[in-house]
Amino acid sequence: MRLLVVAVLGSLCAVEASLAPFITPCYARDSNCLRASTQRAIPVVAAGLPQFGMVPLDPMNLDGIVADQAGLHMEFRNTVVKGLRNCEVLRVRRQSSRTQLEVKCSVTLAGDYRLGGQLLIVPIEGQGRYKMKIRDILVKIDFRVGEHYQRGQRYWTVENWQHSAEVLTSAEFRFQNLFGGNTQLSNTVHEFANSNWRDIFQEVSPPIVEVIVSQIVGEVRKLFNAVPVSELSLD
């Protein structure tokens, strides 16, 4: 009986001492465990973990994005992204120094914009408030993971990463004050954009998606820096 009590107390102390109790360590070969553990961790990480210096990801605040591509000048400022806490994990694969993650999310972005130039074949000009509703965006992130030792423990590092994104269901765009408030021209552009949402998404979204993914990776780096591999993996 004494041994049983000691074992139970030891187990409870280990749980209490865990830095990341929201993560279930898995073997790299166990894809189901990896997916389930990542799914449970997403809303926790999205809410922010101040003990690790991790800021909230939902809502996510983006100060400024400026880009020029395909004849279109884009500025997006003071953007708030909502919905990342509800992302669905479709696949996690860990192999050697690579970790591949696939998630499907529905998000809303709102902020200030300035556009000028050509939106595919349609001239566009305006500045004001904007909103994008994206339903079922599939994001794939490929991490190159390294290791280092500190405090006698092994820790992961994100050496580099790349990503891809595509919308599976729909994207809706709304830009206030296009063409100085010309309702007829604004309606024409919105009808074109929302009827050709897939092409418009590929035109407008890459700089926005890259900044969002970059911010997510930055928070993952903080997590890896704070929590040893022994609490993240069974390998």
Is residue 173 predicted with pLDDT exceeding 70? yes
Is residue 16 predicted with pLDDT exceeding 50? no
- Whether 171 is in a domain gets the answer yes
- Contacts of residue 79, Cβ cutoff 8 Å, sequence gap at least 6: 61, 62, 65, 109, 110, 111, 112, 208
Write out pLDDT tens, residues 95-146: 989 999 999 999 999 999 999 999 999 999 999 999 999 999 999 999 999 9
Q: How many residues does the chain have?
A: 235
Domain carrying residue 41 = 22-231
Q: How many CA atoms are closer than 13 Å to the CA of 116, on its beta-carbon side?
A: 5
- Whether 111 is in a domain gets the answer yes
Q: Which residue has the tokens 């280092």?
A: 148
Instruction: Say what the pLDDT of residue 96 is.
Output: 85
Share of the chain above pLDDT 70, in %: 93
Is residue 1 predicted with pLDDT exceeding 60? no
Write out pLDDT tens, residues 212-227: 999 999 999 999 999 9
Is residue 211 predicted with pLDDT exceeding 50? yes
- Whether 11 is in a domain gets the answer no
Instruction: Say what the pLDDT of residue 10 is.
Output: 37
169 in Cβ contact with 138 (< 8 Å): no
Distances (CA, A) of 89 to 71, 105, 137: 35, 9, 12
Output DSSP code: residue 233: B
- Whether 84 is in a domain gets the answer yes
- Whether 16 is in a domain gets the answer no
What region, left, alpha or beta, does residue 125 occupy, with left being phi > 0 and alpha being psi -120 to 50 degrees?
beta
Nearest to 109 by CA among 127, 83, 87, 89: 83
How many independent structural domains does the chain possess?
1
Instruction: Say what the pLDDT of residue 17 is.
Output: 54
- Whether 72 is in a domain gets the answer yes
Write out pLDDT tens, residues 54-86: 999 999 999 999 999 888 999 999 999 999 999
pLDDT mean across residues, the chain: 91
Q: Outline where DSSP puts E strands in 10-97.
A: 60-69, 72-82, 88-95
pLDDT band of residue 50 (cuts 50, 70, 90) is very high
State if pTM tops 0.85.
yes
- Whether 4 is in a domain gets the answer no
Annotate 47-70 with three-state secondary structure.
CCEHHHCECCCCCEEEEEEEEEEC
Q: Which CATH number goes with the domain that contains 140? A: 3.15.10.30
pLDDT band of residue 4 (cuts 50, 70, 90) is very low
- Whether 12 is in a domain gets the answer no
